[in-house]
Chain A
């Protein structure tokens, strides 16, 4: 029996996972979500920043991580707009530029009064990672003389008085790897003392967690789709993360059942061997 189970065609596993994800998306169970401390800290950072403060949101991801990072980025951008914070979008990944534009486009209907150049600006992508952040801290105007459309930043009111990180309230990086949140911590926070926070993919979350510490290298952290769903709950918006959580939960449960089944089989087989 154990031998037979071991030979289980993995396509059955694939099919189970597929259905485990697809069915909850269609049926919508609406399971509850609990909010963790790290996510709440990010929320409070944004919430407690005075209106009209300028903040940097860095989009350091591409379409490959969109399902995880896009929902949290949208939730944070929305909260920033609600709080009347002025957003400077940047990107350490080339495709991050489109990701930021996409989110602003999605939110335009909700915030019809937003003006480009006054409430937000997209400075676009700059190659260099750590070196770029370092240069921004020294002289932001030199490293970003123009926005992504080629308009000089001197013509954009939001950029008035922004010469480096001194007039910036905080930076939040949505990060799928290198360069990303690690570089923001190492340079923006640890060198320039800029409050830094962010959202990361589930894969990189454990490696970034040590920065959430007494030294406040990171103020909170949003990790993966679960973190995004928690954030959506905090800003009272039902987005794609919340609607994905049912599927996420069921798929986790299926994987756990697979692990347990495999272990039970292993122990049964081992016991039988001992008896022999």
Chain B
């Protein structure tokens, strides 16, 4: 019986894959049904997963095992309940406290991490001697790296009008941003194609057995 259900599983997977692909031809009921099932299963999945992966191991189990040592976990639990009161029209104001708490801690934490990793470390990594590189290609590259980073950051400075020498510098910054957007497009295209490859490997391999899997 297990074998039957394994095969049924693959056929179900193939059916829903094709149902979604059918949208490429045109919108149709098969696609719509598959889409709605996706939404429903997705919501159900996250609901269940929150219970089993977050609430039970992080709250219920520790409280049950040793309440005295873990009572502090009741604080986030109460904050969580307060957050849910947002759903009641009259309880809206209560949810502001947990929101304020989480936004406050997040901004405190993010502040420190971003200053160090995304500003100071990045600036340090840009303060290099481009001419110390071993060959002329890396020298050119490193000059581009330094110039591109500085002009790029200048482009993001909007408090001063972009004109004159400042404007020209910002313009050079745009060129670097354009190259990086182009590269990002290339990588995005690559990623999307990879996902399609994954799907076709399933259809042609697991389902039809045309290619080994």
Contact = CB atoms under 8 A, between A and B. Distances in A.
Given A26-B211, A94-B49, A185-B117, A11 B25 contact: yes
B210 interface: yes
A2 interface: no
A41 interface: no
A223 B204 contact: no
Interface in A12-71: 14, 17, 21-22, 25-26, 28, 64-68
B27 to A, nearest CB: 13
A202 B114 CA distance: 23
**Interface size range on A against B:** 35 or more
A66 B46 CA distance: 18
Contact of B200 (A215, A225, A226, A247): A247
Contacts, number: 121
Q: Majority SS of interface residues in chain A?
A: helix
A252 B210 contact: no
B191 A201 contact: yes
B125 A244 contact: no
A122 B198 CA distance: 26
Given A67-B194, A214-B128, 14 more contacts: A14-B24, A21-B197, A25-B197, A65-B195, A67-B195, A130-B113, A191-B113, A203-B187, A206-B180, A206-B187, A224-B190, A225-B191, A226-B190, A248-B190
10 contacts: A11-B24, A26-B210, A28-B211, A65-B195, A67-B199, A202-B194, A203-B187, A213-B125, A224-B187, A252-B189
Interface of B: 24-25, 49, 53-54, 57-58, 109, 113-114, 116-118, 121-122, 124-125, 128, 180, 183-184, 187-191, 193-201, 204, 210-211
